[in-house]
Structure 1
């Protein structure tokens, strides 16, 4: 069994800050959710309000990244102000480049080099005011070569030896292949990785088998994008309220919301240790929390899955707002 990420009895729902740390993101309706309050102080206040709501609901896992604008700074400031000490995860490998603009031509730059790791680790420590409990390669892929970079792996092994849980997050249609490659990484005969954060949802469940293998190997598994950047919410598959009819019917029958059903489906997976909410508002967070304790008959949903190529193609086309 993997080492637990959370204390016994803690809700397995966590909060990811991808949509809370910057004025632009690809979640459907993000611009509408944020409204005109896109300056740093307004977004800090929004982030803290959602964090407060999450803490009150019992959530104790919070996820950020260097590329999420000021998400680490917002989280670190909130932790110091409130005196809380939850489980914190962060990621390295992308640099935020949007200049606090939602309409920037480029929002982040990916670089999995040792130089980026050495620069971003102390930046994360300074922003959070503490070391993260979990530290992940941000969207590791086979193409970047990071899983074969001996210098990077050796540095991550040192972090792991110091007590930080290191691992990787995955994205793209080759998630399963990337994860299986990571399962075979060795530094001096030992795999330094022990955590994976992957995209799994009702539209894109293709990595499920590999995630089961990771958990069987003693890793912890964190699920991200369980509501598919808003496509498995009341906003529907295209943002026009076109909720998948099977999802709408099941949610209606249970007296809950589509997002709660989608998150409950992820929580029902036997290999899932933590499932992240990506809420931008307190109302969304409260709706997401409805997944806790919700028993979902996955058979009643039918098969919502798309091909990985279609799913990731549609995701790549989502606008930053």
Structure 2
């Protein structure tokens, strides 16, 4: 598995990855984008920002890079960066299929992405990803599975995914919504010819949304690599927007709220890769300080009180505007 390269890496930040959702398209739901990105977000402007982040991430030891078909032109930006650096061969590249980007480079589109987990969408998007990333693609994930997703029961799709795995690509899935734990457990039961289909799971987990933790531990115990997304809760755990308890612990550690929030996730024994969704080099540098703090039990106990009801958390996330 390509993730063995992360397990054997020696950089302190090798288990922090960089996700490109915030810089591959002009509009996204993260809070604070008006300050993070320039008012004019042309393709070339965001291409440059993405490359700047990738350069900084690699220089600081990050070795997992995460994109998706629906992240605007993130795969294209990443492919350009990789093509210009053929000697960079110690990273793991992941992407996702299942959402189609439909905003046409607009921040105020009526619909920014369309979800479809059919075989036809997989074949189309797999070909699109392959045309850009080629043999640099290590991991291909179903984007945003939920308990009712047909991808959990579609045997034809499972066979196509198994064919991709036989060709050398690791197959995984990501989850969203209040039923993440149910989704993870259902996916763990999916097999092809008696063998588990999925080798990785990427789920939302942060100080506010902790409901997937038991299922993620089960996935880890079953041999899957666990990737954690949205560790900053789309910006709700950053700076002055962060809850008072988090700001207090951050002040005690003389670090940013973001570093503390990500540090808590890194402490979980099942967490293989924790994604930074940084949109600026300064944000990335602050995120990478997550490897520094040694939080005590009293501090961790205070932070545990921040967890919300998952239904309420996902309802609020669903109301975040694209901007």
1:3 Cα deviation from its structure 2 partner: 6.0
Matching of residues 111-150 of structure 1 within 5 Å? 111-150=116-155
1:288 alignment counterpart: 287
1:130 Cα deviation from its structure 2 partner: 2.9
2:164 alignment counterpart: 159
Gaps of 5+ in 2: none
Distance 2:234 2:295 in 1: 21
1:245 alignment counterpart: 244
For residues 132-177 of structure 1, give each alpha carbon's deviation from its aligned partner in whole angstroms, at most 9, with x where no partner exists.
1111000012222111000110111111222211010000000000
Q: Which structure dedicates a bigger proportion of its chain to helix? A: 2
What is the SS of the residue equivalent to 1:279? coil
Which runs of structure 1 show a deviation greater than 6 angstroms over 4 or more consecutive aligned residues? none
Q: 1:181 aligns with which of 181, 186, 197?
A: 186
Distance 1:91 1:150 in 2: 19
Distance 1:80 1:235, change over 3 A: farther
Whether contact under 8 Å (1:167, 1:193) holds in the other structure is: yes
Distance 1:249 1:218 in 2: 37
Distance 1:58 1:3, change over 3 A: closer
1:212 alignment counterpart: 217
TM-score w.r.t. the length of structure 1 is 0.95
Looking at both structures, which has the greater relative contact order when contacts are Cα pairs under 8 Å and sequence separation is at least 6? 1
What is the SS of the residue equivalent to 1:290? helix
Distance 1:156 1:235, change over 3 A: farther
Matching of residues 279-318 of structure 1 within 5 Å? 279-297=278-296, 298-318=300-320
What is the SS of the residue equivalent to 2:75? helix
RMSD: 1.5
1:240 alignment counterpart: none
TM-score w.r.t. the length of structure 2 is 0.94
Decide which moves more: 124-133 or 137-146.
124-133
Distance 1:72 1:157, change over 3 A: same
Distance 1:131 1:48 in 2: 17
Q: 1:12 aligns with which of 10, 15, 24?
A: 15
